[in-house]
Chains A and B, each alone.
Chain A
C-alpha cells in the first residue's frame, strides 16, 4: 500500500496507548472467565457424578462471582472490536480480509454461544435436569475459551503472518488459506498458553477467597472442597502454562528474532551456547546492558532447545533491517508505479488486460523480486516520501525503529516468568496441604492466599505486554509498521477518547471490585447450603430417570 499521508506520531502513540489501556483493562476480566468457567465444570461434574448437594452449593456460589466478572468482561471487550475500525483504519484495510473472519467468529462465539448459555447456566437450575445443566456449563466454558481462540488466531497472524499474501493491485493482504491461518503455530501455542494462564488465575482466585472464609471458619466443608479442587486444577494448569510459554519462546526465536533478543536483552550476537541473563539493565541508547548476571549456556537451551544455536543480537538484527530496507525500496517503487498506472488506465483493473500489458508485467516482476521486504521499506517511508533518494544515514535511522523498547520487554517478561514459577510452588504446596487435610492448620496458607489473588492478573498483563511490545514496530510482523496502521485523527480527539475510555473502564473496575468483595465476603447464601448440608448420602444423577428435573 502506498500511504497518502503521514499520520502524526502523537496520534499513533495515543492510538497505541488507547488500545493498550482498553486491552489491559479487558484482560483483567478475561482470565478469570476462562479459568473459573472450567472450575465450575469440574465442580458440577462432581455434583452430577456423586449427587452430593455440597458440590451444587459450590457451583452456585462460584457461578455468582463468575457472572459478575463475565458481564464486565463482555462489556469491556466490545469496544476493542470497534477500535480496529476507528483508530486503526489503515490496519483494518490492509489485513481486514484476514482479520475480519476470526474477529467475526469470536463475536459470534462470545455473544451467541457463550452469552446464551450463561443465561441458561445461571437461571436454568429448575428448568433443566442435572445432566442437561452440566452440558450447559460445559458449553459456557467451551464458548468462553473458544471465543478466546479466535481472537488469538487473529493475534497469531499479527505475530507470524500465515495463510495470506499481499495483492499489489488491491494494495492489501488477502487470505490464501484459512486452514493455514487457523493452524498457525504461534496462534496454537498462544491460545493454549493464554487459556491455561486463565485456569491458573481462576484456581488462585478460588483458593484465595476460600482461604479467607476458612480463616473465619465459614462454610468449612464447602470452602475446603473448593481449595482441594482449585489446587489440583491449578497445579496441572501451571505446568501447562510453563510448558507452553517455552513453546511460544521457541516459536518466537524462529519467527520474531527481535522480540526474543529484546526479551533476553541480547545486544551482541552470542555464540553457542549463549548465556541467559537473569538480571540486567538494558540501555537502549548505548545498546548494551549496564549490569548483567548470566547463567552460561542456558539461553540456547531455552530458545532453541539445544546447545549449538547462536542467538542473534539486536545490533546485528538492526543491520539486517537496514539491508532489508534497501531491498524493499524497489518493491515500494513498483507499488507506486502500479498505483499510478491503474489510475491512468482503469482497464488495468482487469487481470486479462494486465497480463497483456508489458509495462505492467515489468513493474510486477520488479515488485515480486523485492516483495518480501516491502514492510521494511515502509519503515523508511516514515522519514521520506522519496525512498529512492534516501541517504544511508536516513536508512540507518529507519533501521533503529526495527528494534523494540528493550528494557520494558526484558523486565515484564521476567516478572511474568518469576510469577509463573511462584504459582507452581504455591499450588504444589496448597495441593499437598489439602491432600493431607492440613489446610485449616496452616496459618501461612490462610493468611497468604487472599493476597495471592492479584498476582496471576499481573502475570497475565505482563504476558500481553511482552507479546505486544515485543512485536513492535509492527502491527503485522515484517509486513505493516505500527506508524502506518493508525487512523488520521486529531490529537485532541485521541486525548479526549483516551480519557473517556480510561475513566469509564476505571469505573468498571471499581464496580467489579465492589461487587466481587461484597459477594465473595458474603459467602454462599443460606438457601444454597441449607438443603444439602454436605451429607455423604448423595444420589448420583445417572442412577435417576434421565428426565427428572434438578429440583434439589
Chain B
C-alpha cells in the first residue's frame, strides 16, 4: 500500500510537471486536455443527473 502510494504520488508529480511545461509552451494543447476531460465529465454528470431527476420524479420517464 505504501509503495503504491509513493508510485502514484511520483506519477502525479510528473504529470503536474509536464502540465506546467505544456501550459507554458503549448497553452492551447493544455486547454484541450483540460477542456476535453471537463466536457466528458459534464456530459457524464448530465446522464447521472437524469437518473436522479427521474428517481425523484422531477422529470417523467417517458
Bound form: Cα–Cα A196–B32 in Å: 9
Let me know if A38 and B39 touch, CB within 8 A: yes
At the interface, yes or no: B53 with Cβ under 8 Å from chain A? Answer: yes
The number of A-B residue pairs with CB atoms under 8 Å apart is: 100
Q: Knowing A195-B32, A240-B35, say if A42 contacts B59 (CB, 8 Å).
A: no
Closest to A42 in B: B43
Q: Mark A195-219, 1 if CB is under 8 A from B, else 0.
A: 1100100000000000000000100
Stretch from B2-10, B11-19, B21-29 contacting the other chain:
B21-29
Let me know if A437 and B60 touch, CB within 8 A: yes
Let me know if A244 and B62 touch, CB within 8 A: no
Residues on A with C-beta less than 8 A from B36 are: 38, 145, 195, 199
Bound form: Cα–Cα A225–B48 in Å: 9
At the interface, yes or no: A179 with Cβ under 8 Å from chain B? Answer: yes
CB distance from B21 to the nearest CB of A (A): 11
Task: For A440, give its contact among B28, B41, B55, B62 (CB under 8 Å).
Answer: B62
Residues on B with C-beta less than 8 A from A188 are: 26-29
Let me know if A536 and B55 touch, CB within 8 A: yes
Closest to A188 in B: B28
Q: Knowing A49-B44, A233-B43, say if A183 contacts B25 (CB, 8 Å).
A: yes
Let me know if A49 and B48 touch, CB within 8 A: yes
Task: For A41, give its contact among B31, B32, B40, B59 (CB under 8 Å).
Answer: B40
Residues on B with C-beta less than 8 A from A199 are: 36, 39
- Report whether over half of chain B's contact residues are helix, strand or loop; otherwise say mixed: helix
Residues on A with C-beta less than 8 A from B43 are: 39, 42, 229-230, 232-233
At the interface, yes or no: A52 with Cβ under 8 Å from chain B? Answer: yes
Let me know if B46 and A229 touch, CB within 8 A: yes
At the interface, yes or no: B38 with Cβ under 8 Å from chain A? Answer: yes
Let me know if B59 and A189 touch, CB within 8 A: no
Contact residues of A between 362 and 387, Cβ < 8 Å to B: none
Let me know if A183 and B40 touch, CB within 8 A: no
At the interface, yes or no: A263 with Cβ under 8 Å from chain B? Answer: no
Let me know if B59 and A437 touch, CB within 8 A: yes
Residues on A with C-beta less than 8 A from B55 are: 536
Closest to B35 in A: A240
Bound form: Cα–Cα A55–B31 in Å: 28
Residues on A with C-beta less than 8 A from B45 are: 232
At the interface, yes or no: A132 with Cβ under 8 Å from chain B? Answer: no
Residues on B with C-beta less than 8 A from A232 are: 42-43, 45-46
At the interface, yes or no: B50 with Cβ under 8 Å from chain A? Answer: yes
Closest to B55 in A: A536
Residues on B with C-beta less than 8 A from A435 are: 46, 49
CB distance from B28 to the nearest CB of A (A): 4
What are 23 of the A-B contact pairs (CB < 8 Å)? A38-B36, A39-B43, A41-B40, A42-B43, A45-B41, A45-B44, A52-B51, A179-B25, A192-B35, A196-B35, A221-B61, A221-B62, A224-B50, A225-B50, A228-B46, A228-B50, A229-B43, A231-B46, A236-B39, A236-B42, A435-B49, A437-B59, A440-B62
Interface of B toward A, CB cutoff 8 Å: 25-29, 31-32, 35-36, 38-51, 53-55, 58-62
Name 11 extra pairs, CB < 8 A, besides A50-B51, A183-B29, A229-B43: A38-B36, A42-B40, A46-B47, A46-B48, A55-B47, A182-B26, A199-B39, A231-B46, A233-B39, A237-B39, A437-B59
